[in-house]
Amino acid sequence: MQKEFITINYRQTQKLGEFLAGELRGGEVVCLSGELGAGKTTFTQGLLRGLGVKGPYSSPTFVIMKEYQVKIPISKSKYPNKSQNSEFKIQNVFHIDAYRVRADDILGLGWKEIVENKNNVVIIEWAERVEKIVPKGSLWIKLEWQGDKERKIAFNSKYQINFKP
Ligand code: ADP
Ligand code: MG
């Protein structure tokens, strides 16, 4: 199933990322694809915030993979879906920008263990560049530039995103 959203400013794209966070349960690999400036990092910022990671969210420019701890107790979360689900257990969030990274370099970081751990969520920008190491069944989100402030954001997924800009 494909779900499409149009955002008309960067805040809406962040919000969409925040909304997605409310649907994740742990163990997901979130693959962001799209050209430079499409909004992958902007979306990631919202997703990190929604998952309860405290900023600042510096880009993983000097490391292949940036690891964050989820700091905000889920019971305090503003996402009703999350607090109802006692199985929610996301503890660590990993962020990769694969623009200049080789798939093999990621594999060398203990990739298999990271993606198999249900306490983790992994976010990959430029995921299409390292597609061969992306687990099957991952969530793919395609971001497209439509105009100065307009972006099309399409999910390939089962996730119900109750998003109204
Ligand atoms: P990427 O990581 O895909 O290269 P970024 O998120 O770093 O893209 O950059 C997107 C740029 O586009 C930012 O400067 C952001 O402010 C701007 N922008 C304008 N409108 C939007 C929108 N609707 N969604 C996301 N970013 C937008
Ligand atoms: Mg980016």
User: For residues 85 and 112, is the Cβ–Cβ distance under 8 A?
Assistant: no
CA distances from 49 to 12, 16, 78, 106 (A): 14, 11, 11, 24
Neighbours of ion ligand 2 (CB under 5 A): 40-41, 125
pLDDT at 1: 58
Q: How far apart are CA 32 and CA 135, in angstroms?
A: 14
pLDDT at 74: 54
Q: Ligand 1 center to residue 38 CA distance, Å? A: 5
pLDDT at 85: 46
pLDDT at 56: 85
How much is the pTM? 0.91
Pocket test for ligand 1, best of 8, 42, 124 (most atoms within 8 A of CB): 42
Pocket test for ligand 1, best of 10, 124, 152 (most atoms within 8 A of CB): 10
Beta strand residue intervals within the chain, DSSP E = 3-7, 29-33, 65-69, 92-97, 120-125, 139-147, 150-155
Give 131-157 pLDDT, tens digit per residue. 999 999 999 999 999 999 999 999 987
Residues 15-42: what's their mean pLDDT? 95
Mean pLDDT lowest among 43-52, 63-72, 101-110: 63-72
Reported as a pLDDT band with limits 50, 70 and 90, residue 55 is confident
Pocket of ligand 1 (CB under 6 A): 7-10, 12-13, 34, 36-42, 125, 149-151
